[in-house]
Amino acid sequence: MKRLMIFSLVLLTAVLGSCKKFLAEYSQDEMRPSTTEDLAAIMYSEAYPYSGSFDNLDLLTDDVQSNGLANSAGVPVAAYVTPLENGTPQFTFNPMMFDANNTIPKGANLYETYYSKIKGCNVVMDNLDKVSGSEQTKNAILGQCLFLRAFYHFRLVLLYSLPYTAPGVDPDRSLGIPLILTSQVRDGGIVRPTLKQTYDQIEQDLLRAATLLKANYMQTSNFRAGAPAVHACLTRFYLLRNLETDLDKVIEYAGKTFEDRSSLTPLTTFFTSANSISGTGIYDGANTEVLWVYGGNSRTDFTYFAALTGGAVPPFAVSSNLTSTYEQGPNTSNYGDLRYQMYFTKYTNGGNVPYASAKSTANAAGSGSKGFRLAEVYLNRAEALIRRFIKTGNVADRTQALVDLNYLRVNRYDTRNTPYVPVNIQEGNALFTFYQQERRRELALEDGFRWQDIRRWAIPVTHNYKGADGQSTVYNLPANSPLYALPIPFNALINNPDLEQNPR
């Protein structure tokens, strides 16, 4: 059997996981799919990130706090021991968190996870010219795979490289991440290209994907990626690359996104007849605000946020530093900011205390909890407009930024009985500070947003860690820390000797 491998990963024993049976029907030299339908099946299985845990980055941020190991009648709550152990290396900013002497729990080895999906993308693309099917169908498949490959490479560079415009970073010299652009075997290892080369390749794939999907593919569900999702990804890409010319591009691609879809979903529509919020998360597959959804159900992933046992306080939970930023209403007739009610599951500890993310749909095995939503695109455009206003003084930019922010907020507040009062901040820096807070509230515990904002805004983080012994220790992550580029897991280094580790 010809092996399809990526040297930067732990070598997989099967070429295409769920497609092993299909590929086994072919001889060693002929094990190729024959139609676009075959390739699409491989793409859905091996290239799309439908399920599983795809990040644990909130543990690095100020959105999570440590509560220690709860006791019941003097005995530690057994169900909480493993989640506490799983989250400790990240929460304490341990630079050896992914070394051989540390167990890497599910979801933590994102290096392996994303590169395995990149391999699936490349397998599909490398076989496109060998199968039968219409050019439109082939272009639709190619567009989806280019987007997914770019998305995974983008996630990897945001994890394992320093921010593009951070102090001391030279994109022409600083290290990016290995770019895997083929499924074929190569001799030797794979080195890390420069940060600029990495971002240039991601941009190239995204722009090509946007063109192909716009012309050839009509998105069939929120679990498939079409042109609107790619345009939304481009707003994120240009916002985080952060070149002088990128603000204009954020605004441009936000506009392209809104040409296809622009309506946010009022959170008041999630009220039940019993005057409470339903268990349908914001990432519900039918929500028109969602452009693309992926990943597993965060409500059923207990790797770090333990399954609640009785009323015991869990070892890790949403921080009071975050929840205190939400404006709560005076009573059940006016809950104020409904995100406080809807975006978090609660535990009972002298009241309903926010605990973990509730952005996926409760008890829905096929429900994802991350991806691209129109809310992020409005926020990305608002940031670009505010920063451009601060730079140029163009009042039209400030006005549009306020329109975007108020449109988001009016769809997030309880307006059943109380009218929403628009924000009207005139001074640029004050408006930007308000925007930062609004971004944190909207994107809390979702897809690593807060970690990226901490990195690019150089926000120091202080964690008060409570261990199993009940002792508290303070850990600090200073601004512009070397850990802004996370350590590459040891198994990736073993399998690719030419892979250079990050300073730590």
448's torsion region: left (phi>0), alpha (psi -120 to 50) or beta?
left
Higher per-residue pLDDT: 161 or 294: 161
What pTM was computed for the model? Answer: 0.92
Kindly report, residue by residue over 447-483, the tens digit of the pLDDT: 999 999 999 999 999 999 999 988 999 999 999 999 9
On the question of pLDDT at 399 being above 90, the answer is yes
Residue range(s) of every CATH 1.25.40.390 domain in the chain? 218-461
Q: Are 235 and 255 in contact (CB under 8 A)?
A: no
Which among 276, 240, 273 has a CA at the least distance from the CA of 439? 240
Spatial distance between the Cα atoms of 409 and 150, rounded to a whole number of angstroms: 31
CATH of 1-56+105-216+471-504, one of 3.40.190.10, 3.30.210.10, 3.50.50.60, 1.25.40.890: 1.25.40.890
Kindly report, residue by residue over 306-333, the tens digit of the pLDDT: 888 877 889 999 999 999 999 999 999 9
For residues 246, 248, 253 and 255, what is the CA-based torsion angle, rounded to 10 degrees? 160
CATH of 218-461, one of 3.30.413.10, 1.25.40.390, 1.10.357.10, 3.10.20.90: 1.25.40.390
Higher per-residue pLDDT: 56 or 345: 345
Q: What is the pLDDT of residue 366?
A: 61
Q: What is the pLDDT of residue 284?
A: 86
Which of 71-85, 245-259, 436-450 is predicted with the least confidence, judged by mean pLDDT? 71-85
On the question of pLDDT at 431 being above 50, the answer is yes
pLDDT band at 46 (very low <50, low <70, confident <90, very high): very high
Q: Residue 335 carries which DSSP code?
A: E
Q: What is the pLDDT of residue 185?
A: 52
pLDDT band at 362 (very low <50, low <70, confident <90, very high): confident
Percent of the chain at pLDDT exceeding 90? 71
Q: What is the pLDDT of residue 72?
A: 74
350's torsion region: left (phi>0), alpha (psi -120 to 50) or beta?
left
Residue range(s) of every CATH 1.25.40.890 domain in the chain? 1-56+105-216+471-504
What residues pair up with 353 in beta bridges, in sequence order?
347
Segment 4-28 shows an average pLDDT of 30
Which of 19-33, 91-105, 158-172, 255-269 is predicted with the least confidence, judged by mean pLDDT? 19-33
Q: What is the pLDDT of residue 7?
A: 28
pLDDT band at 394 (very low <50, low <70, confident <90, very high): very high
Q: What is the pLDDT of residue 364?
A: 65
Q: What is the pLDDT of residue 11?
A: 28
On the question of pLDDT at 37 being above 60, the answer is yes
Q: What is the pLDDT of residue 152?
A: 97
pLDDT band at 107 (very low <50, low <70, confident <90, very high): low
Q: What is the pLDDT of residue 26?
A: 29
Segment 118-145 shows an average pLDDT of 97
Task: Give me the chain's average pLDDT, please.
Answer: 89
Q: What is the pLDDT of residue 103?
A: 67
Spatial distance between the Cα atoms of 197 and 191, rounded to a whole number of angstroms: 12
Kindly report, residue by residue over 143-184, the tens digit of the pLDDT: 999 999 999 999 999 999 999 999 999 999 999 999 999 998
Q: What is the pLDDT of residue 106?
A: 62
Higher per-residue pLDDT: 246 or 370: 246
Segment 383-402 shows an average pLDDT of 98
Segment 115-144 shows an average pLDDT of 97
Which among 479, 490, 337 has a CA at the least distance from the CA of 420? 337
Which among 411, 412, 470, 440 has a CA at the least distance from the CA of 319? 440
Query: SS3 of 420, please?
Result: coil
On the question of pLDDT at 18 being above 50, the answer is no
Which residue's structure tokens are 């049976």?
A: 21
Q: Judging by beta carbons within 10 Å of its beta carbon (0-12, 13-18, 19+), is residue 338 exposed, middle or buried?
A: buried
